[in-house]
């Protein structure tokens, strides 16, 4: 891992102009179902990219392809100008692990271990996978819990928390891995409406602090406020991309317009 302060994004003192991630020609089918038909995009350090589009358009599959939960059939991924991972060939296990280390995912459902406390959930990845000494992992986890207002919940079990608190722990668990890139897969769509705000607030703060993130979301007001770039997907392609002000107020493509008309 490239940085040590759990409260700071990894590039806090770094160069914000370089592309952290570059995806080219990503294709994926499940059986006969062609889900991604050649996806190209880049994410610069400190940038917030949101993926929007109708259900089934391939957004989650893009996100999962970025951290190895899905293996594309073709295309390349490059992290930080490193060697391209070419999915047209078998990906060597070492390269796959290195890719996985780059990012951390926050899922729609928080996926916390139900029989472990909040603190145990947060330190699991650092201690078991990254071999961080336990005392250090605990100290870092406590600092992260503090910053999302959950310090006093460290010894609680997930079922003792509200859905919004559980999802904030899910975010802390991702941050504890000190990834270069945070991936959010509809992080608020499983929440009761009154709990959405507290989770979006945390994500917005992370965005403002300069974390690099790719966010799949139906929360267009969040995308409008937090995104540097919005990608609109439909039918496995990126139909349109641009700054939120352009996409939301002046979409060029008919498909984008129809989608926005339906949900705005």
Of 53 and 72, nearer to ligand ADP (C-beta) is 53
In angstroms, give the least distance from the CB of 263 to ligand ADP.
13
Token couple for 117: 């406390």
Residues contacting ligand ADP: total by CB under 6 A: 11
Asked if 118 contacts 154 with a C-beta cutoff of 8 angstroms, the reply is yes
Residues 6 or more apart from 53 whose CB is under 8 A from it? 59, 232, 233, 234, 239, 259
27, 43, 50, 57: which one contacts ligand ADP (CB under 6 A)?
Answer: 57
In angstroms, give the least distance from the CB of 247 to ligand ADP.
17
CA–CA gap between residue 180 and residue 21 (Å, rounded):
10
6, 9, 58, 244: which one contacts ligand ADP (CB under 6 A)?
Answer: 58
Asked if 191 contacts 108 with a C-beta cutoff of 8 angstroms, the reply is no
CA–CA gap between residue 215 and residue 106 (Å, rounded):
9
Put the strands of the sheet holding 19-30 in their side by side order.
33-44, 19-30, 74-79, 85-86
30, 71, 115, 149: which one contacts ligand ADP (CB under 6 A)?
Answer: 30
Buried b (16+ CB within 10 A) or exposed e, 44-54: bbbbbbbbbbb
Q: Does 56 bind ligand ADP (CB under 6 A)?
A: yes
Q: Does 35 bind ligand ADP (CB under 6 A)?
A: yes
Of 53 and 244, nearer to ligand ADP (C-beta) is 53
Binding mask 108-147 for ligand ADP (x = CB under 6 A): ----------------------------------------
In angstroms, give the least distance from the CB of 220 to ligand ADP.
15
In angstroms, give the least distance from the CB of 199 to ligand ADP.
18
Token couple for 13: 């003192």
- Interface residues with ligand ADP (CB under 6 A)? 30, 33, 35, 53, 55-61
């Amino acid at each position: 891992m490239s940085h040590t302060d759990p409260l700071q994004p990894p590039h806090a003192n770094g160069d914000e102009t370089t592309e952290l991630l570059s995806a080219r020609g990503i294709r994926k089918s499940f059986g006969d179902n062609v889900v991604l038909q050649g996806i190209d995009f880049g994410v610069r350090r400190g940038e917030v990219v949101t993926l929007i589009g109708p259900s089934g358009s391939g957004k989650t599959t893009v996100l999962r392809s970025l951290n190895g939960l899905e293996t594309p059939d073709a295309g390349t991924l490059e992290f930080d100008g490193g060697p391209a991972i070419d999915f047209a060939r078998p990906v060597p296990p070492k390269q796959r692990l290195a890719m996985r280390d780059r990012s951390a995912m926050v899922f729609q459902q928080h996926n916390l271990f139900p029989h472990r406390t909040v603190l145990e959930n947060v330190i699991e990845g650092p201690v078991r996978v990254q071999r961080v000494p336990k005392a250090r992992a605990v100290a870092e986890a406590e600092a992260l819990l503090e910053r999302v207002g959950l310090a006093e919940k460290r010894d609680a079990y997930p079922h003792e928390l509200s859905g919004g608190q559980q999802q904030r722990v899910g975010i802390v668990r991702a941050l504890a891995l000190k990834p270069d890139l945070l991936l959010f897969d509809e992080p608020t769509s499983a929440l009761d409406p009154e709990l959405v705000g507290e989770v979006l607030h945390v994500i917005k703060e992370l965005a403002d602090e300069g974390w690099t993130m790719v966010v799949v979301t139906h929360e267009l007001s969040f995308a409008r406020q937090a995104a540097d770039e919005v990608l609109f997907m439909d039918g496995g392609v990126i139909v349109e991309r641009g700054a939120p002000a352009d996409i939301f107020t002046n979409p060029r493509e008919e498909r984008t317009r129809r989608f926005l008309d339906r949900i705005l």
